[in-house]
Structure 1
């Protein structure tokens, strides 16, 4: 699943391809991508101008004229790409936006898990999945004190706690494994048992890792491409994810892979402390 750095990279590359353009025509080849009635979706979008593209967590917020916002979640493998209206439709393309200048953007999704929800601008936190999200890394709302107090109330293990998006949003499987290794915290540690000094390190590493991953245009492990069709670069910085069976870069112990709530999880059994 594209995580926050990847979605931010998509936003940055998609913005110049869409901003200022007027939607001439919308084609929906797979209606289940759309939340609500697809015919109403098409009707409301036709003729609208793309003002800008924002993001919150893993959600893209395409701001349109007449106070409309298209909220898009890429889920597992969704991606946007620039094309033309005349280009042949590819197998996994499900939505097409044709602009008055002749260019087109298509939404491609092999697993068809992505969703688009057209809402009134300013209602995203009440009407979409954004209402369940915690603050983003590197924001004033995501302070050390806030983070420590939230973890202190969680009986779940820290891996699941960071993945559920309600305390801090934007982290997925890759970055959770990375920040826990950097912070020397075992993934099965009880969130509420992690001491304050370790939470401070974890908070710092979450902020730093997300910032660095955004700077390097995200991580391409399987299929992530930005809107320009390019891969990210942060995969070259990964210390644990995808390295099960290899030596820990810190203590040389062999890294192990386990399942945590069904998610593959790589960690060092020696230098990552288990807090219980």
Structure 2
């Protein structure tokens, strides 16, 4: 016997039952569950990065449980339930994919000989999302601060949010025409960061200037990644993994020689680092 989504919904309702449910589950609110949702999403990403597909199945189940949890609370508060979440999602995706569902129904199909170009599909996607944002009801406060950047979640990781903000602005013409000016801006921000740092060290500059300039530099790096069609978060994750692998290799190298990492000079550690990099290049060749 295999359990179904209906069984999962029943389980969640039982866990949240105020009389016979789990004390921990009944205490939770939308806000208290958020950290768990973020953690589960990262664990899904980690399993994919490690290509650990048996573990991925388990992590996807944990992430699905988060959706079920929010849906049960929404049902209790008469806001929404799991079925309405699914209905809203299907309707939205059908609406956003007219190149797949031309009549706006799940049953309709596109003529393979008349498929639009990828550029047309992207333009249509952005137009439809803009229409959706415009159609959402606004409070008076939201109306006052209405912007084409609205809807980019403030809780996203800073690097991910920077890329989304840049893409949103670029879709409305606020962008460099080519990559060269981005390189120029990168050098400009490096110079400004140096100036802020040396001023801070001498006591003549603002205390928060270094943070400001470093933020500007990181923002330009994200822009550069966007121009090069590189995912900056993925690129940094890859470098993190590379650094961790090399550092572990240094530890193992020194341990084999009976040496202590903490007792080595920077010059000696750098020599081992270069040796580790040399081994990597030999393997790749």
In which range does the TM-score fall when normalised by the shorter chain? under 0.3
Q: Which is bigger in relative contact order (C-alpha 8 A, separation at least 6)?
A: 1
**Quick check: which one's helix share is greater?**
2
TM-score (structure 2 length as normaliser): 0.23
TM-score (structure 1 length as normaliser): 0.24
**Quick check: which one's strand share is greater?**
1
Question: Which structure: larger Rg?
Answer: 2
